[in-house]
Amino acid sequence: MTLATKPRGPLDGQHFHVAVIGGGINGVAVARECARAGKRTLLVEQNDFASGTTSRSTRIIHGGLRYLEHGELGLVRESLRERERLLRVRAHLVNPLHFLLLLNDQSQRSALRVRAGLWLYQRLSGKKSSSGTSEMELKRLERALDTGRRWSFFSYEDAQCEFPERLVAEWLGEAMEAGAVVRNHNEVLAVDVMHGRSRGLLLRDLITGRDERVDAGWVINCTGPWADRVCQRSSLRMAKPMVGGVRGSHIILPRFAAAPNAALYSEATDGRPVFVLPWNEQIMVGTTEVPDSGDPSRTTPSAEEIEYLLRAVVQLFPKSRISAQDIKYAFAGVRPLPYTPDNSPSAVTRRHFLHDHADDGAARMISVIGGKLTTAASLARECARKIGISVPEPKLLAVGPGTTLDPLLDQAIVQIAQTGSVSEESARSMVEWHGKGAMDVARLAMVSAELRAPICPHTPHVVAEVVEAYRTECAVTLGDVLLRRVPVALGPCWSESCSREAALRIGAVMGWNEHEMGANLESFEMERSGFLRKVLRGTPALQAAAD
């Protein structure tokens, strides 16, 4: 059997109340809010949804413990409130995560200061403290750490969204259900500005090659680190840049013998915070803060950043003999922080700002500056209100111990397994990534054995999930699917042979001919290698870090 994707209809000449540029988590959240308010909304993204900063983050849903150091109590309250909402409403994607903050005798932060900060953090969250880590686990961790230093341990709770790409896909689906028109792989050539007001967008569909123009009552620039470039293309005269790009790099390691089950929050050699996190059956280490004013689509982790992160792990776990040879890959993204040239990256606020371009000669155009995974929904509500849409504040739902787990979950998994004629492991994997949509995937899987087959031999995720991404989640390329909608290619076992096997299995049900199969596979491998960078292990700095 073959399953074709829906053709993309033309946009030329259409009118929208709101046109949102940028399909990261902020842009999708804004489009979703506007569409649900009954506004005819267009969302366009030059690459794929969630392919930029969103997919290159540390993937923590947190209240911002660091922000207390800078006195940003309002941001911490907002972040904690949004964290709790995500834990409740997106429990299949956002999970509680126990953190251990580690200090040693050389740390720049005092134990008294940290204890006071954690007490305030807990009070602001409105939750009771929880040890979260057993005495046995603490003893195991203590034995693994550098025994030449005295360590202090502090516990607190936050959350993790292992795959924010899936959160974006769900919000995208809700935006479309509310009537939003969405296009990925659609470049904004310029905002059409006439007589001091934004009038619409000039677009180029990168799939069909069509140039189009749409009218819009409001234009919302949610392009993150690309925000200034959109203004430059549109000939807006800005007194100064809006964004001061800061590169954050991460390295991914396999789980090593002493790897913690909790997330570790410690200090690197320069006193900056560094996280060592369990993620996707691997260990993520991040992040750096390096000014970066280059093309955000071409940003890559430098050898110095990789060495910095590797050294941080080696100094924490000297007995584990971790070296550059163990790094599976590294990746980097550019945070769109507000432009503040006189401040160090660490001191720049993580609050978001809405820049009204009326004084720049483009009334009814707003640029969103800053923002993070945790607060994307509240940013979207604020943005909608800014353009005159009445948006109520959602009720705060408390999350207590254990309440994020559905007691009927095991029963649902059995039902999905039976409906789709798949294993319970595959059914559980569907639920973890698709939530309520897992049953639709299961029904599709029932159609044929090819759809029930695993995407590659190392994963319980099945081909039906891929087909559903092409049919209902706006996936266009193999990278859209395997890196974001069904991100199995981020897994610990993925290799070039997995890519070939996945392309064959997917191509068979999608009806690809030999040429289409080769083109899809080649494009995917290029995108994956450009995103997940292999580390050049012969670099002197990396050799020194592991010595």
Decide if 518 is inside a domain. Answer: no
Residue 2's pLDDT band (boundaries 50, 70, 90)? low
Asked if residue 415 has pLDDT above 60, the reply is: yes
Asked if residue 300 has pLDDT above 60, the reply is: yes
**Could you tell me if 420 and 503 lie in one domain?**
yes
Structure confidence by residue, pLDDT tens digits, 450-489: 999 999 999 999 999 999 999 999 999 999 999 999 999 9
Which among 434, 9, 379, 30 has a CA at the least distance from the CA of 183? 9
Question: Across-strand partners of 116?
Answer: none
pLDDT top residue among 155 and 231: 231
**Could you tell me if 371 and 493 lie in one domain?**
no
Q: What's the pLDDT at 400?
A: 42
Q: What's the pLDDT at 132?
A: 66
Decide if 6 is inside a domain. Answer: no
Q: Which helix (H) or strand (E) holds 115?
A: helix 111-125
Q: What's the pLDDT at 263?
A: 93
Decide if 454 is inside a domain. Answer: yes
Mean pLDDT of 52-58: 96
**Could you tell me if 120 and 194 lie in one domain?**
no
**Could you tell me if 123 and 154 lie in one domain?**
yes
Q: What is the CATH number of the domain that holds 374?
A: 3.50.50.60
**What is the β-pairing status of strands 15-21 and 41-44?**
parallel
Asked if residue 516 has pLDDT above 50, the reply is: yes
**Could you tell me if 257 and 362 lie in one domain?**
no
The three-state DSSP-derived secondary structure of 508-527 is HHHCCCHHHHHHHHHHHHHH
3-state class (DSSP) for residue 421? coil
pLDDT top residue among 345 and 204: 204
Residue 374's pLDDT band (boundaries 50, 70, 90)? very high
**Could you tell me if 149 and 268 lie in one domain?**
yes
Q: What is the CATH number of the domain that holds 328?
A: 3.30.9.10
**Could you tell me if 262 and 325 lie in one domain?**
yes
Residue 62 CB partners (closer than 8 Å, separation 6+):
79, 83, 158, 159, 374
Decide if 189 is inside a domain. Answer: yes
pLDDT top residue among 66 and 364: 364
Q: What backbone phi and psi angles, to 5 degrees, belong to 203?
A: -120, 155
pLDDT top residue among 147 and 524: 524
| Helices first, then strands: H and E counts in the chain | 17, 17
Q: What backbone phi and psi angles, to 5 degrees, belong to 295?
A: -65, 115
Decide if 194 is inside a domain. Answer: yes
Asked if residue 407 has pLDDT above 80, the reply is: no
Structure confidence by residue, pLDDT tens digits, 324-333: 999 999 999 9
The three-state DSSP-derived secondary structure of 292-334 is CCCCHHHCCCCHHHHHHHHHHHHHHCHHHCCCHHHCCEEEEEE
Q: What backbone phi and psi angles, to 5 degrees, belong to 23?
A: -110, 35
CA–CA distance, 264 with 41 (Å, rounded to integer): 41
Q: Which of 68-77, 226-235, 291-300 has the lowest mean pLDDT?
A: 68-77
Q: Which of 39-43, 48-52, 104-108, 296-300 has the lowest mean pLDDT?
A: 104-108
Question: Is residue 484 within 8 Å of residue 463, measured between CB atoms?
Answer: no
3-state class (DSSP) for residue 244? strand
Q: What backbone phi and psi angles, to 5 degrees, belong to 460?
A: -80, -10
DSSP-assigned letters across all residues of 528-544: HHHHSBPP-TT-HHHHH
Distance of CA 29 to the CA centre of its chain: 13
Question: Is residue 463 within 8 Å of residue 452, measured between CB atoms?
Answer: yes
CA–CA distance, 307 with 136 (Å, rounded to integer): 32
Residue 396's pLDDT band (boundaries 50, 70, 90)? low
Structure confidence by residue, pLDDT tens digits, 90-112: 999 999 999 999 888 777 777 87
Taking all residues of the chain, what is their mean pLDDT, rounded to a whole number? Answer: 90
3-state class (DSSP) for residue 250? strand
Q: What's the pLDDT at 468?
A: 97
Q: What's the pLDDT at 261?
A: 85
Decide if 2 is inside a domain. Answer: no
Q: What's the pLDDT at 399?
A: 43
Q: What's the pLDDT at 148?
A: 74
Q: What's the pLDDT at 259?
A: 86
CA–CA distance, 369 with 233 (Å, rounded to integer): 18
User: For the CA atoms of the chain, what is the radius of gyration?
Assistant: 23
Could you tell me the pTM of the whole model? 0.93
Helices (H), 178-328: 227-233, 303-316
Asked if residue 346 has pLDDT above 70, the reply is: no
**Could you tell me if 422 and 503 lie in one domain?**
yes
CA–CA distance, 537 with 324 (Å, rounded to integer): 6
**Could you tell me if 36 and 47 lie in one domain?**
yes
Asked if residue 526 has pLDDT above 80, the reply is: yes
**Could you tell me if 151 and 171 lie in one domain?**
no
Number of domains in the chain: 3
Q: At what angle do helices 438-445 and 409-420 cross, to 10 degrees?
A: 20
Mean pLDDT of 109-125: 83
Decide if 290 is inside a domain. Answer: yes
DSSP 364: T
**What is the β-pairing status of strands 243-254 and 282-286?**
antiparallel
Residue 78 CB partners (closer than 8 Å, separation 6+):
375, 378
Q: What's the pLDDT at 103?
A: 85
Decide if 61 is inside a domain. Answer: no
Asked if residue 178 has pLDDT above 70, the reply is: yes
Domain range for 214 is 15-53+165-242+350-386
**Could you tell me if 218 and 250 lie in one domain?**
no
Q: Which helix (H) or strand (E) holds 376?
A: helix 376-386
Q: What's the pLDDT at 451?
A: 98
CA–CA distance, 165 with 24 (Å, rounded to integer): 9
Q: Token pair for residue 126?
A: 């409105």
**Could you tell me if 367 and 435 lie in one domain?**
no
Q: What's the pLDDT at 537?
A: 65
Q: What's the pLDDT at 425?
A: 96
